Amino acid sequence: MVAPVSALFGLLIFSGAIKIFLRPSGLAGQILSLFCCLLLVSLLMILLYLGYWFGYYLQAKKRADYGKS
C-alpha cells in the first residue's frame, strides 16, 4: 500500500519540478518529463523492494541468532 502512494507522490512532485525548472515546451519536452518521471518512479520502486528484502533478511537473521542461544 505504501509503495504505490509514495510512487504517485514522487511522480507528481518530480513532474512539477521538471515543468518549473526546465520549462519543457512541445511534444519533446513532454516526452522528456514523462521519461524522467518514469525513471524516478522505477528507481523508487527498486529502493522500496530492496528495503523490503533487507528488512526480511534482518528479521531472519534475528530469528536465527535467537535460536542459537
Q: What confidence tier does 16 reach under pLDDT thresholds 50, 70, 90? A: low
Q: What confidence tier does 19 reach under pLDDT thresholds 50, 70, 90? A: low
On whether the CB atoms of residues 33 and 22 are closer than 8 A, the answer is yes
Q: Greater confidence, 15 or 45?
A: 45
CA distances from 39 to 13, 32, 64, 65, 67 (A): 13, 11, 37, 39, 42
Read off the C-alpha cell for 42.
Answer: 522505477
Q: Mean pLDDT for the chain?
A: 75
Q: Is the pLDDT of residue 36 over 80?
A: no
Mean pLDDT, rounded, for 12-17: 68
Q: Is the pLDDT of residue 15 over 70?
A: no
* Domain range list for the chain: 2-68
CA distances from 59 to 11, 53, 64 (A): 31, 10, 9
